[in-house]
Chains A and B, each alone.
Chain A
Amino acid sequence: MSDNASKAIDTKDPGELLAPTPGLSGGVRSASKHDSGPKHVAGEAVYVDDILEPFGTLHLAPGAATIAHGRITKMDLSKVRSAPGVVCVLTADDVPGVNDVSPAHTHDDPVLPDGIVQFYGQPVFCVAAETREQARNAVKLAEIEYEELPAILSVKEALEKQQFVAPPHVMAQGDAKSALARAKHRRSGVMEIGGQDHFYLEGQITFAIPQEDGDVLLHCSTQHPSEVQHNIANVLGRPANAVTVEVRRMGGGFGGKETQASQWAALAAIVAVKTGRPAKMRLDRDDDMVMTGKRHDFIVEYDVGFDDDGRICGLDIQYAANCGFSADLSAAICDRAMFHTDNAYFLGDVEIRSYRCKTNLVSNTAFRGFGGPQGMVAIERIIDEIAMTIGRDPLDVRIVNYYGTTDRNTTPYHMTVEDNVLAELTNDILASCDYRKRREEIDAFNAQSPVIKRGISITPVKFGISFTTTFLNQAGALIHIYQDGSVHLNHGGTEMGQGLFIKVAQVVAEEFQIDLDRIKITATNTGKVPNTSATAASSGADMNGMAARDAAIIIKSRLIAFAAEKYGVAEAAVRFVPGRVIVGDVTELEFADLVKQAYLARVSLSATGYYATPKIHYDRETASGRPFYYFAYGVACSEVMIDTLTGEYKVTRVDISHDVGRSLNPAIDRGQIEGGFIQGMGWLTSEELWWDDAGRLRTHAPSTYKIPACSDRPEDFRLELWSSGRNVEKTIHRSKAVGEPPLMLAISVHRAIADAIASVGDYKVIPMLNAPATPEAVLNAVANVAKGMIAQSHDAVPAAGE
């Protein structure tokens, strides 16, 4: 990527549209409906498993290890091979190329392990049969023996034994040690934060169709088609051009289909190439939950110093993350947790240490927020702890610690926060949600209600936008205009439900000033736009929108030059207005007519577009730079009720004001905010991952793993896209990324539950609430606060459970 390209885009700032362009159907700012909506509701949207299977399609099923760590001493698959319908059985020996699908070239993610099992449930062989049922039945006939090795099943144990998948990393500003020593008040503690299963409704799936020359076409449910392509080429021992990956849509992704799709794609591809028959690998839900990575669980240890106003003046914090058996994206995820230690707060002198622990559990991976949520939930608990220690309202302590706009505005990674809008956002929500008045009402309620207690909390979100691995911040697009003026749009981003396709199409509609229905949104395909980055880091619309706009501008410039020459006007006199093109005062044409004329005049109507995010740079050695192009902000206020006899709770009201800049599509953005919030709430409340002593995940299906259901959505949910939002950076139409940031608004729920628990001890004992706050965790915290009240000394605020 040359600097020139991004400068070219820079000079083409899309400008300051405040509202949809009149007369244009489906340009930017319009609340256009999801392009697949009518197909979704009719059951006509095609997911990978819905593609009509060609004759002879084989179906795959994985065979799982039944120990957490050990050596395979015997693997007798003869009964599997002779089972009805079985066509082939794969083991590590059948991988024709490199037996690895690790995303960061750490070479520790085998397609099938060669001799050593590293977690309970790891696929050790794979069956291909005429039907899926036959494949699943055959799996049961394997005879495998192991020599067990010691297994590390907790992050605590891995940390003690210094088992890591990547080296520890430190980030610092100033001198945390002496700042802590000087601090007027000081608190330390430990917080345990659970992981989270993605629970995309469509499980992992790849359908591989063999092509000539031993090539393969993969229909894969993945957020990262290019990575799947490159991984599968390696696995097959073929060049990248032998593999094509196509993704029309996913039934949800949330980060779980970024790196986790490769293994299943690899198995399907191997079978397809080996047998010459189409091969489909669709994981059963239980296998999916057991065999694929999740959000990292963390243990956070902290030591914080603060003054009488609750202003933080020193922080020493340490993260230990459960990465599982391999590195996957853990290094970047743990980095992002470090980058979000501050959330919205100026931490001053700070030292952040991060340990990437290796365990004999499934390898954890990307999940919406990518480590950010873990960093932020910890600092929010710390803030509450500070507030209780000095007897202030937690909101006031938050505000006093907010980044400044002119000073107190450098992050622990030495980036200046230039776009801070939190003070305004917080003021706006304070006015609309009546926080102070409700706090008084809650106090009155709690005073007369011995069993049911209410709690409330406001928490902010500041989330850094860009891949922190700088080179990933690039995107490409491809646009064709056909002779009838219809437009074919393609780009490297994938559609997982987030509305990326419609947003990018709106950008193109706006650029050409044509109605949205003139644009065909087409499946992501590595044959059309190559070398793409994952649709991740909330960057989809920012980057692909810009790349598509770049392609549109290239074609548009050709059309303008053509029209100017043909009609003898200056280029500046050629203007695109809704549906039409005005050529000076000479003529006015339909868009399609201009296109037809240009074709006949031999003007190219196809172009690729490209975008690389400007301004960003980061030096990981010194842990300093500007890893983020800008920040997305939001504030949420949540109110809950808890039952102090059972630990059950209910979220009764939520108010959100979120900054999406100038929204490309307010309906889609609202959907992202609401959905992200509820998903974050699930992570912090009912979603609990539970492994038994053998390292076996026992919450591996919706019967045991509880994501929020309809009734968990708060009765009273008030959401506003912040009306003053505008990206100070020249992003696509001054919008802001919205995929991940809202998830962390749900931290307010966790803090509101803690607030309700604190009421049991008259706010004099700090509830050391971990995550997820299951009813059991809440009841334990209630019990500890009650005990703390009994044990309370007069000169210190005790923390329950310490």
Chain B
Amino acid sequence: MTKPALDTRDDIRFLFGNEERRLRDIDPQMTVLNWLRLNERKTGTKEGCAEGDCGACTVILGEPNSQGSMRYRTVNACIQFMPTLDGKQLLAVEHLKSEDGSLHPVQQAIVETHGSQCGFCTPGFVMSLYQLWLDGGEDDRGAINDALAGNLCRCTGYGPIIEAARKAGGISATDPVEQKRRSDIATRLSTMVEGADMLALEMPVGRYFAPRSSDELAALLVAHPDATVLAGGTDVGLWVTKMLKRLDPIIYIGDVADLKSVREKDGVLTIGAGVTYSDAHNALGMIAGDVGELVRRIGSRQIRNAGTVGGNIANGSPIGDTPPALIALDARIALRMGDIRREVALEDFFITYGKQDRAKGEFVESIIVPKPAAGVQFKAYKISKRFDQDITAVLAAFAIRIDGGKVVEFRAAFGGMAGTPMRAKKCEAALIGKDWNEASLNAAQLALTRDFAPMSDMRASKEYRMLVAQNLLTKLFIETTAPEIATRLVGREAAHV
């Protein structure tokens, strides 16, 4: 096994707008939002919730891409830690005006459409619209909704902002000035961190390591088995902003190059643990439209740009949105500790609430998802109070193969019904080998009550959870036997971007 790089550096290097910054002596768990507001006195970026849910703190992170240009992504500055900026470009609302003081087209569009009222959420919307603009602009309402799902506005009712999105247009990908600008920035960023050693901050208040390879990561985790593994920070960030925890050390996997790939071979998808939802979206959406729609609805764009599929699994949330779907797809995960690797079926990884089959020092390396065999239909349903950017009350995922009117294969997995994402084995057993008709449907629904005893909380009562879970079987029945019947309010068309 490779030893961890002995050589480290202790400065965070990034571009703040076009200005190069090298920061030392910064608390590794200081958020980007606090740095902007408290250290830089750049108060355009606002704190609305400090948990990544309202978008008032939206900023853009730029990273060099494989084509020597830049890729820009919105994130929530309130739950992004400063050292994660290393090697990136940070753009805040203050960077948008041109040098002569004139507003950027997206800013101008919001002014003209009367898209700001109290104005507090506005800088966040500006940044989300700026992202759209950088990506070439968008006219489609669905795509605009999706880009803005993570930005809450309590004043306008969104109409003028949607209009502004359309009005602002976007920059052409082939615009030569923009192309040159992006490649210049990419070059600067690459030069700044080129050949540089692993970022390691060892401060009295806490330590932070950003390994570059999974070998380095493995070694670091063996050395620091109690470390907090940080990926997108969409969960860990809240431990700091809400629970006021001190995390020490933090090991960040976002710079681990070999955990960031999505590969497909022989009908099996392997997703590195560091792959964000945004980067996994396409590949997962190709498995089935419903998987793509599920990924779209797991959180806002800002959350998907930061959060990882691996993180959603490793943190073991009982309502993690991807695990039930992945369990229904019979996914496995690859774990590694030091040089020892093992694979485990995802459904076995979740032991009980708050407990997963992961030893100290061990980490999730990848998620292995077999594509459903020919003839298997895959359906997933997410039930929440709000369609976008909401945590699920009940999630159901079904992989079913019907042959000659009989259910020959059936895997059903649920989220929100138990302490962990879980298969409904009694329900499965009630259907497999049976005629796919109302009687067996009813039997399967009854079996669900033996599979699960859900609880009541702020998202739903136990009675509703059970009733919906049963009704989702009805929905599956209708969709697989009478596809002409309308059964969906959203996500009707296979949603993968």
Please report A residues at the B interface, Cβ cutoff 8 Å: 31, 33-34, 36-47, 49-50, 52, 133, 136-137, 140, 198-203, 249-254, 284-286, 449-452, 496-499, 641-643, 645-650, 667-668, 670-671, 674-679, 686, 688, 690, 698-699, 701-704, 706-713, 715, 717, 774-776, 779-780, 783
Number of A-B contacts (CB under 8 A): 264
CB distance A675 to B156 under 8 Å? yes
Q: Which 7 A-B pairs have the closest CB atoms?
A: A43-B44, A497-B118, A251-B120, A40-B119, A678-B157, A497-B117, A702-B53
Q: Would you give the shortest CB distance from B348 to chain A, in whole angstroms? A: 29
Task: Give the CA-CA distance A676 to B157 in the complex, in Å.
Answer: 7
When distances are taken between beta carbons in the complex, the residues of chain A under 8 Å from B265 are none
When distances are taken between beta carbons in the complex, the residues of chain B under 8 Å from A643 are 487-489
Q: Would you give the shortest CB distance from A487 to chain B, in whole angstroms? A: 23
CB distance A701 to B155 under 8 Å? no
Task: Give the CA-CA distance A15 to B388 in the complex, in Å.
Answer: 48
Picked from A45, A641, A686, A783, the residue with its CB within 8 Å of the CB of B489 is: A641
Q: Would you give the shortest CB distance from A590 to chain B, in whole angstroms? A: 28
CB distance A648 to B152 under 8 Å? no
When distances are taken between beta carbons in the complex, the residues of chain A under 8 Å from B126 are 41, 43
Task: Give the CA-CA distance A702 to B57 in the complex, in Å.
Answer: 14
Q: Which B-chain residue is minimally distant from A698 (CB atoms)?
A: B458
Q: Mark B73-113, 1 if CB is under 8 A from A, else 0.
A: 00000000000000000001110110000010011101110
Q: Which of B346-384 contact A (CB under 8 A)?
A: 381, 383-384
Among A33, A52, A140, A675: residue with most chain B CB under 10 A: A675
When distances are taken between beta carbons in the complex, the residues of chain A under 8 Å from B121 are 201, 251
CB distance B114 to A34 under 8 Å? yes
Q: Other CB < 8 Å A-B pairs besides A704-B391, A710-B145, 10 of them?
A: A31-B114, A34-B119, A40-B119, A47-B120, A201-B121, A285-B48, A497-B118, A646-B468, A674-B159, A779-B464
Task: Give the CA-CA distance A783 to B461 in the complex, in Å.
Answer: 15
Q: Which A-chain residue is minimally distant from B101 (CB atoms)?
A: A42
Task: Give the CA-CA distance A50 to B141 in the complex, in Å.
Answer: 34
**Interface membership of B273, Cβ < 8 A:** no
When distances are taken between beta carbons in the complex, the residues of chain B under 8 Å from A712 are 386-388
CB distance A779 to B116 under 8 Å? no
Q: Would you give the shortest CB distance from B115 to chain A, in whole angstroms? A: 8
**Interface size of B by Cβ–Cβ distance < 8 Å?**
88
Task: Give the CA-CA distance A651 to B450 in the complex, in Å.
Answer: 36
Q: Which B-chain residue is minimally distant from A43 (CB atoms)?
A: B44
Main secondary structure of the interface of A (DSSP, over half): loop
Q: Would you give the shortest CB distance from B303 to chain A, in whole angstroms? A: 11
CB distance A706 to B385 under 8 Å? yes
When distances are taken between beta carbons in the complex, the residues of chain A under 8 Å from B116 are 34, 36-37, 40-41, 497
CB distance A43 to B94 under 8 Å? yes
Task: Give the CA-CA distance A397 to B390 in the complex, in Å.
Answer: 38
Q: Would you give the shortest CB distance from A292 to chain B, in whole angstroms? A: 15
Picked from A200, A670, A713, the residue with its CB within 8 Å of the CB of B118 is: A200
Q: Would you give the shortest CB distance from A729 to chain B, in whole angstroms? A: 27
Picked from B148, B459, B489, the residue with its CB within 8 Å of the CB of A650 is: B489
Task: Give the CA-CA distance A445 to B387 in the complex, in Å.
Answer: 24
Task: Give the CA-CA distance A249 to B489 in the complex, in Å.
Answer: 39
CB distance B46 to A251 under 8 Å? yes
When distances are taken between beta carbons in the complex, the residues of chain A under 8 Å from B494 are none
Known: A38-B103, A646-B468, A686-B385. A715 touches B489 (CB 8 A): no
Among B37, B458, B467: residue with most chain A CB under 10 A: B458
**Interface membership of B50, Cβ < 8 A:** yes
Q: List 21 A-B contacts (CB under 8 A).
A: A43-B93, A201-B152, A201-B153, A285-B48, A285-B50, A641-B489, A643-B487, A646-B468, A647-B468, A650-B489, A677-B157, A678-B158, A701-B51, A702-B49, A702-B54, A702-B152, A706-B385, A709-B148, A709-B389, A776-B460, A780-B464
When distances are taken between beta carbons in the complex, the residues of chain B under 8 Å from A44 are 44
CB distance A254 to B154 under 8 Å? yes
Known: A49-B43, A201-B154, A675-B117. A136 touches B485 (CB 8 A): no
CB distance B50 to A674 under 8 Å? no
CB distance A252 to B118 under 8 Å? yes
Known: A42-B96, A43-B45, A668-B114. A709 touches B159 (CB 8 A): no
Among B43, B161, B488: residue with most chain A CB under 10 A: B43
Known: A41-B107, A649-B489, A698-B457. A711 touches B159 (CB 8 A): no
When distances are taken between beta carbons in the complex, the residues of chain A under 8 Å from B49 are 285, 701-703
**Interface membership of B149, Cβ < 8 A:** yes
Q: Mark B376-416, 1 if CB is under 8 A from A, else 0.
A: 00000101111111110100000000000000000000000
**Interface membership of B123, Cβ < 8 A:** yes
When distances are taken between beta carbons in the complex, the residues of chain B under 8 Å from A253 are 118
When distances are taken between beta carbons in the complex, the residues of chain B under 8 Å from A198 are 154
Task: Give the CA-CA distance A386 to B121 in the complex, in Å.
Answer: 43
CB distance A709 to B386 under 8 Å? yes
Q: Which of B217-225, B322-330, B429-437, B472-480 contacts A (4 or more CB under 8 A)?
A: B472-480
Q: Would you give the shortest CB distance from A79 to chain B, in whole angstroms? A: 15
Q: Mark B136-164, 1 if CB is under 8 A from A, else 0.
A: 00000110111011011111111111100
**Interface membership of B337, Cβ < 8 A:** no
Q: Which B-chain residue is minimally distant from A702 (CB atoms)?
A: B53
CB distance B119 to A710 under 8 Å? no
Task: Give the CA-CA distance A709 to B152 in the complex, in Å.
Answer: 6
CB distance B242 to A251 under 8 Å? no
CB distance A252 to B157 under 8 Å? no
CB distance A675 to B155 under 8 Å? yes
CB distance A715 to B141 under 8 Å? yes
Q: Would you give the shortest CB distance from B344 to chain A, in whole angstroms? A: 30
Known: A201-B121, A202-B118, A452-B487. A136 touches B244 (CB 8 A): yes
CB distance B122 to A252 under 8 Å? no
CB distance B244 to A137 under 8 Å? yes
When distances are taken between beta carbons in the complex, the residues of chain A under 8 Å from B461 are 776
**Interface membership of B340, Cβ < 8 A:** no
Task: Give the CA-CA distance A520 to B327 in the complex, in Å.
Answer: 62
When distances are taken between beta carbons in the complex, the residues of chain A under 8 Å from B488 are 452, 643
Known: A648-B489, A779-B467. A711 touches B149 (CB 8 A): yes
When distances are taken between beta carbons in the complex, the residues of chain B under 8 Å from A674 are 156-157, 159-160
When distances are taken between beta carbons in the complex, the residues of chain B under 8 Å from A284 are 50, 242
Task: Give the CA-CA distance A498 to B118 in the complex, in Å.
Answer: 7
Task: Give the CA-CA distance A133 to B393 in the complex, in Å.
Answer: 33
Task: Give the CA-CA distance A764 to B477 in the complex, in Å.
Answer: 28
When distances are taken between beta carbons in the complex, the residues of chain B under 8 Å from A252 are 118, 120, 154-155
CB distance B120 to A201 under 8 Å? yes
Picked from B50, B96, B393, B478, the residue with its CB within 8 Å of the CB of A451 is: B478
Q: Which A-chain residue is minimally distant from B145 (CB atoms)?
A: A711
CB distance A452 to B154 under 8 Å? no
CB distance B485 to A667 under 8 Å? no
CB distance B114 to A671 under 8 Å? yes
CB distance B486 to A710 under 8 Å? no
When distances are taken between beta carbons in the complex, the residues of chain B under 8 Å from A52 are 41
**Interface membership of B471, Cβ < 8 A:** yes
Q: Which B-chain residue is minimally distant from A648 (CB atoms)?
A: B489
CB distance B123 to A43 under 8 Å? yes
Q: Would you give the shortest CB distance from B445 to chain A, in whole angstroms? A: 12
Q: Would you give the shortest CB distance from B479 to chain A, in whole angstroms? A: 10
CB distance A713 to B159 under 8 Å? yes
**Interface membership of B331, Cβ < 8 A:** no
Known: A645-B472, A645-B474, A702-B53. A249 touches B118 (CB 8 A): yes
When distances are taken between beta carbons in the complex, the residues of chain A under 8 Å from B173 are none
Q: Would you give the shortest CB distance from A278 to chain B, in whole angstroms? A: 15
Task: Give the CA-CA distance A780 to B463 in the complex, in Å.
Answer: 10
Known: A49-B43, A690-B458. A711 touches B387 (CB 8 A): yes
**Interface membership of B56, Cβ < 8 A:** yes
Picked from B37, B46, B114, B464, the residue with its CB within 8 Å of the CB of A37 is: B114
Q: Which B-chain residue is minimally distant from A691 (CB atoms)?
A: B458
Known: A33-B114, A671-B156, A703-B53. A710 touches B103 (CB 8 A): no
CB distance A707 to B152 under 8 Å? yes
CB distance A250 to B467 under 8 Å? no
Q: Would you give the shortest CB distance from B473 to chain A, in whole angstroms? A: 10
